[in-house]
Each structure stands twice: as structure tokens, then as C-alpha cells.
Amino acid sequence: MTTIAPIHPAEPSEARPARPAHRVTGRRVLRAEWAKLWSLRSTWITLGLALLFVIAFGIIASAQYKHRITSGGHLDRDFAGATAVRLSLFGTNFGQLALGVLGVLVTAGEYSTGMIRSTLAAVPRRLPVLWSKAAVHWAVALLVGTAGAFTSFLIGSGIVAGTPAALTLSDPGVVRSLLGAGLYLALVGVLGAALGALLRSVAGGISLLVAVLMLIPGLVSLLPTSWQDHIGPYLPSNAGEAMFTLHHDSTTLSPTAGLLVLLAWAALALGAAAWRLVRTDA
């Protein structure tokens, strides 16, 4: 005789709580890009170099000017008619490279490591990633650039006190020039980020950035004077310089015009990068 054991129904397992669904919002994308930016060692290095370049070269230029004035030495073209603002912002040309290179690394770096696929999988609409990267780097570069410009001026103005170049923060146009320098450095960072996203190559982005900021202005200076007057002021570096120049003449743009021209260059580069991001695979 076979005994059939009764079958007891299995007790229902405890219901696991459903994982909350997180919507992709602009704020969350910004927070993610902010966290990624500060997780990179290159961020701290390049920001430190940018700050060092702006402050150190500004102090060196101010000290050189003071030495030549007090020793009765000849003032060459670089120092003739110099002001404390111009001397303290001498390092801007070097700081822009560091912040521009960091911008390229912020965008093109993810393509070189392949991390961009994970990023775009999390943000399928794609464009918020580009806007967030540009916005985060703009904010950080603006803070570093402005801090460097004001620090360099405060130290440099103390060095050149009592000389024809002496100025203080209360003098007309000084604060505007220092803020303009910080804004210029921030926009160069955005331009670098846009070029990195457009070319998707760290080496290519840095090369094009250096060409735009340094090589092309040098080539334009070899053109006839009439051509230089029509082309030179509208190059990104020259337009940016107009933003923080204390005194202007007929050959340079006004600070507002320089800002608008540089914004147009940054918008053009970002637009091209956005078009490629939407139209092609990562």
C-alpha cells in the first residue's frame, strides 16, 4: 500500500520592495557630471596649473616692470605704457591653455576610455550630457580664472605701487577688466569642451585648440595690414583680450563686442558638437 504525502502549498515569499524609478532630469545630469569632473586627477592638476600660471606670470611681469623702472632701465614695447591690470593679467595667455585642455579632457576623455557609452545609456537623449559638461566646466573655470585674476592684481598692484602703472580696484575699469579675464578663461574652457566633443579625440582637440588660440592669430599677423584690421579683432583670442583690456583703440573691439564675438565662437563649436552627438554613434 502506497502512502501519498499531502502536498502543502508553498508559502508566498516576502514581496521585495520595488526599486524606485529615477527620472533623468537636468539637475541629476549636472550632479553626475560634477561628480565625474572632480573624480579625475587631471582636473586638480590642470586647475592648479591654470591658477599658478595666471598668478605667477602676473607677479613676475609686475616685478620685472618695477625693477626696470627703479633701475632706470630701458622699457621695451611690452612694458611701455603698461598698467597694473595689463601686467597682472600677463599670465592669462598661459592659463587659457590649461583650462582649455581640461575642457577637451572633460569631453574627449570619455571617448578615449569608452565610458561615453555608459553615460549615453544612462541619458538616452544625449544633448543634456553635452550641455551639463559645458556648464560644469564653465562654472569651475570661471571661479578659478576670476580668483586668479583678482589675486594676481592684488599682489601685482602692491609691487608696482608708486610707479606710472599703479592702479587700485577703485579706479575706473579695473574690476570690469578682472571680471572680463575670468569670463574669458571660462569661455575658453567651454570652447575646449566643445572641440573635444566634436573631434572625440584628446590629441585632436588640444591641437585644434592651440591652433585657434595661438597659431591662427600668428598667421593673420603676417597678412597685409588692411586684412589684419578686418580679420584679427574677430578671432577668439583677440576678441577675448578685448574683454579684459583696460584701454581700447580703433583697432580693437569694445568689451561688449568682444564678449559677443567669443560667445558666438563658443556657440558655433557647441552647435557642431551637438550635431555630431545626435547624428552619429558614440
Torsions phi, psi of 169, nearest 5?
Answer: -60, -25
Q: Which of the four pLDDT bands, split at 50, 70 and 90, describes residue 1?
A: very low
**If 0-12 CB within 10 Å is exposed, 13-18 middle and 19+ buried, where does residue 1 land?**
exposed
The predicted model gives 5-20 an average pLDDT of 53
DSSP SS3 for 112: helix
Among 140, 145, 134, 135, CA closest to 184: 145
Give residue-wise pLDDT tens across range 175-226: 999 999 999 999 999 999 999 999 999 999 999 999 999 999 989 888 888 8
* Mean pLDDT for all residues in the chain: 88
Greater confidence, 20 or 259?
259
- What was the pLDDT predicted at 123? 86
Domain chopping of the chain, boundaries: 39-279
Q: Is the pLDDT of residue 19 over 70?
A: no
Q: Is the pLDDT of residue 21 over 80?
A: no
The predicted model gives 247-271 an average pLDDT of 91
Q: Which of the four pLDDT bands, split at 50, 70 and 90, describes residue 68?
A: confident
Q: Which of the four pLDDT bands, split at 50, 70 and 90, describes residue 163?
A: confident
107 Cα distance to chain centroid? 12
Q: Is the pLDDT of residue 82 over 70?
A: yes
- Identify the sign of the CA torsion 106, 262, 178, 219: positive
Distances (CA, A) of 39 to 43, 44, 132, 252: 8, 9, 16, 41
Q: Which of the four pLDDT bands, split at 50, 70 and 90, describes residue 282?
A: low
- What was the pLDDT predicted at 3? 53
- What was the pLDDT predicted at 265? 96
Greater confidence, 41 or 23?
41
Q: Is the pLDDT of residue 91 over 90?
A: yes
Greater confidence, 17 or 129?
129
- Which residue reads 579684459 in cell numbers? 244
pTM: 0.88
Beta strands in the chain (DSSP E): none
Q: Is the pLDDT of residue 70 over 60?
A: yes
